[in-house]
Amino acid sequence: MPVLISGVLKDGTGTPVQNCTIQLKACRTSTTVVVNTVASENPDDAGRYSMDVEQGQYTVTLLVDGYPPSHAGVITVYDDSKPGTLNDFLGAMTED
């Protein structure tokens, strides 16, 4: 069952990031996702994003117009994961 990941993408000054794509690339094959498949979300002008993400492990890359791709980290979405922001999922990996 998909888990909702949503929030507002902001830079270090708290300004919403515009002209950006959030890219999730599957690290391995799961029961619902095939390795190396890519899902993406384009936040709106206010930086808001929302995506239903299947169980699995993903590399997170931010693609901002005019800048090289930025690797944000790796997230793991479990069957029992609670909805949260991208920061929640990225932060959970650093606490393990």
Give the span between the Cα atoms of 26 and 59, in whole angstroms: 7
Q: What fold does the segment set 3-95 form as a domain?
A: Immunoglobulin-like (2.60.40)
Domain ranges in the chain are 3-95
pLDDT at residue 33 in the model:
93
Residues in the chain: 96
Kindly report the three-state secondary structure assignment for every residue of the chain. CCEEEEEECECCCCCECCCEEEEEEECCCCCCCCCCCEEEECCCCCCEEEEEECCEEEEEEEEECCCCCEEEEEEEECCCCCCECHHHHHHHHHHC
pLDDT tens figures, 33-74: 999 999 999 999 999 999 999 999 999 999 998 899 999 999
Mean pLDDT to the nearest integer, 21-40: 94
Mean pLDDT to the nearest integer, 7-21: 94
